[in-house]
Chains A and B, each alone.
Chain A
Amino acid sequence: MRLDEKYLNGLMIAGLLALPLWAVMADQPFTITLVTRAVILALAAVGLNIVLGIGGMVSFGHAVFFGIGGYAMGILAFHAQTYTALELGLFTTDGTKFMPVIWLVAMITSGLVAFFIGLLSLRTSGVYFIMITLAFGQMFFYFAISWAQYGGEDGLSIYVRNDFPGLNTLIPIQFYAICFTLLCVVLFLFARLQASPFGLALNAARQAGTRVETVGLNPMRLKLLAFVISGAITGLAGALFADLNRFVSPTMFSWQLSGELIVLIIIGGVGRLMGPVIGACVFVALEHFLGELTDFWHVYLGVILLCIVLFGRGGLIGLLTGKEGAHV
């Protein structure tokens, strides 16, 4: 069966709308939580897809931004729930439980960090880039472990989910609606970005950096901007993920998470609009169903992943649409 990619994308969105609605009617709140988890992971991976899919940079440290988003939420909400002041040098705040502000802070901080990490690591390429981003991830991981003020190794628990005006975020479907809307917005932006002059130039920089340079564009600047946008989106996802679990811990910075984000994209299809979304849904489904069958579900994930890398070019989307695009 060969599907048109647009058709497949529409089907995916419809599924993400229908499944939670069914879960509400069937009174299956856990299913909603699972789908929410998939949507948030997809959001993080869409961020990574800008760098990996369009820009061709294999960042093995995107958990940094995911973790920063998580800690931005954790720290702001922690100060709000304990009524303690958060000293920020120039000014003091009481923290906040207001989601839009948390998102903004998460995106700005992770974007800033992405700027500095990008500035350093984009000096290198190939294997060096993979390893240096991995090392930055570990650096943040160890920093979070030792940050005793915010729970250190044990992490931070936030007792009540943060607020969004007009919604009760503690009801699973309402929180899902927020995450789903954000995913749609970001997907729309991704599609626009991919088709924009910037996206085309970035794509060209991946395929032929020297040519891009010869026509007067600066590949380094293109890649850095992409890295910052990507970091900010993954940071937003991190804030939502922390809100979903009402818990932040150093594992959000772990290198396994960076690896899993790449895996999501590969399962779905590199550089494809809905690649990360399909990948995240498949991943969460595997995690849930295989996890119920056996404690050793990672073995099966490993085998599946190996088969996709060795035999399945273009991920699931490539398989379903018959357009087997090459990997990056």
Chain B
Amino acid sequence: MSSILIIEQILNGLQFGVMLFLMAAGLTLIFGVMGLINLAHGSLYMIGAFAAAAVAGVTGSFLLALIAALAAAALAGAIVEMVVIRRLYSAPHLDQVLATFALILIFSEGTRWLFGSFPLFLDIPDALSGPVTLPGGIEYPFYRLTLIGIGLAVAVGLWALIERTRLGIQIRAGENDREMIAALGVDISKLYTLVFALGAALAGLAGALVGAIQSVQVGMGEPVLILAFVVIVIGGIGSVRGALIGALLVGLTDTLGGVFLPELFKLFMENGAAQKTGSALASMGIYVLMGLVLIWRPTGLFGARA
């Protein structure tokens, strides 16, 4: 196997990882600040993708589509937070799981109602399509490279937001002691709505960006949601840094496992069977990774509390 292929796969893994990070960052912020486990995060991802596909279909502009995705997901997030989620902050985890499970049902079937069961397609803009040549003569799709760039930019932006701004101070304070910052005059319910909308917007952005590579369809959010859960469990729930490390680990494990395990099995099995066994084990690989991390550190790599 050539080194070019390996580098390509590493880039693919990074691209997958940073997109998972966009999902996981929102989830982990929402959990860290509000103590809420939000299963409906995958639905916000789906809403972003559908909004982008619909707007791109009408206007033909990818940039407008991305803005629509961000706006639609943030708006949906804010509405859901104010109508439903707000009542769940002090509820037990079981109630949170069920209520957000109910939200998934409503969002998924509602979207099917509006858009039908057939997948929509979102095209990669011309300016970003086609391959670029990287140093070393590697041809790599420009769009995927852009995704990696956007993901890393969001990571830096989030870091700056949390470490360097007033809002960030409030978010961190909210994680530590919500009564105290409420007593200090911060409008806590506005802060919660804002954080939820921010997380939703990130999920919507991820949905729109990934929607251009895959098809946009109902139910696209849930597999990503579960992977994002794995990411934040590995990284430590509530830690944005953990989410980044966890996302990259999961992205690389999944992508590289999917490529190299079948090759490994071909050494001692016939081709077809090796392909199947290898890719099966690869899809289990991230769960094995999670199991190992949890045995080593039951609260994840950067988690402080259960």
Contacts and interface: CB of A to CB of B under 8 A. Distances in A.
Do the two shown chains form a genuine complex with each other?
A: yes
Interface of A: 52, 58, 60, 120, 123-128, 130-132, 134-136, 138-139, 142-143, 145-148, 152, 255, 259, 262-263, 266, 270, 296-299, 301-303, 305-306, 308-310, 327-328
A58 B39 CA distance: 14
Contact of B95 (A135, A142, A145, A327): A327
Nearest to B227: A138
Interface residues of B, number: 49
B294 A128 contact: yes
Contact of B233 (A60, A131, A146, A147): A131
Contacts of B280: 142-143, 145-147
Interface of B: 31, 37, 84, 87-88, 91-95, 97-99, 101-106, 108-110, 112-113, 222, 226, 229-230, 232-233, 237, 273, 276-277, 279-281, 283-284, 287-288, 290-291, 294-295, 298-300, 306
B104 A302 contact: yes
Contacts of B103: 302, 306
Nearest to B107: A302
Contacts of A127: 31, 37, 93, 237, 306
Q: Which 4 A-B pairs have the closest CB atoms?
A: A146-B280, A302-B105, A302-B106, A305-B102
A126 B306 contact: yes
A143 B281 CA distance: 7
Nearest to B101: A259
21 contacts: A123-B298, A127-B93, A128-B237, A128-B306, A135-B233, A139-B287, A142-B284, A148-B276, A255-B226, A262-B94, A263-B98, A296-B109, A296-B113, A298-B106, A298-B109, A301-B105, A302-B104, A305-B105, A309-B99, A328-B92, A328-B94
At the interface, is chain A mostly helix, strand, loop or mixed?
helix
Contact of B93 (A58, A132, A306): A58
A124 B294 contact: yes
A134 B294 contact: no
A291 to B, nearest CB: 12
A168 B94 CA distance: 42
A175 B230 CA distance: 41
Given A58-B97, A128-B233, A303-B102, A146 B287 contact: no
B255 to A, nearest CB: 15
Contacts, number: 134
A301 B105 CA distance: 8
Contacts of A143: 280, 284
A284 B84 CA distance: 26
Given A296-B109, A302-B109, A310-B84, A128 B291 contact: no
Nearest to B39: A259
B283 A146 contact: yes
Among A152, A266, A309, A328, the most chain B Cβ lie within 10 Å of the Cβ of A309
Nearest to B291: A120
Contacts of B31: 127
Contact of A327 (B94, B105, B110, B281): B94
A29 B240 CA distance: 56
A142 B281 CA distance: 8
Given A146-B279, A327-B92, 13 more contacts: A124-B306, A131-B233, A132-B233, A135-B229, A138-B287, A142-B280, A146-B276, A148-B273, A259-B101, A263-B101, A298-B105, A298-B108, A299-B105
A201 to B, nearest CB: 21
A156 B141 CA distance: 40
B294 A58 contact: no
Nearest to A121: B294
Nearest to A255: B226
Contact of A305 (B101, B281, B287): B101
B98 A124 contact: no
B106 to A, nearest CB: 4
A280 to B, nearest CB: 16
Nearest to B219: A256
A138 B226 contact: yes
Contacts of B37: 127, 130
Contacts of B277: 146
A5 B104 CA distance: 33
Contacts of A299: 105-106, 109-110, 113
B298 A128 contact: yes
Nearest to A306: B102
A131 B38 CA distance: 11
A183 B253 CA distance: 43
A135 B105 contact: no
Nearest to A266: B98
A148 B280 CA distance: 10
A184 B277 CA distance: 42
A167 to B, nearest CB: 38
Contact of B287 (A130, A136, A301): A136
A126 B93 contact: yes
A285 B233 CA distance: 37
A139 B292 CA distance: 14
B109 A310 contact: no
Nearest to A127: B37
A306 B100 CA distance: 8
B94 A58 contact: yes
A327 B96 CA distance: 11
Contacts of B281: 146
A150 to B, nearest CB: 12
Nearest to B232: A131
Nearest to A262: B98
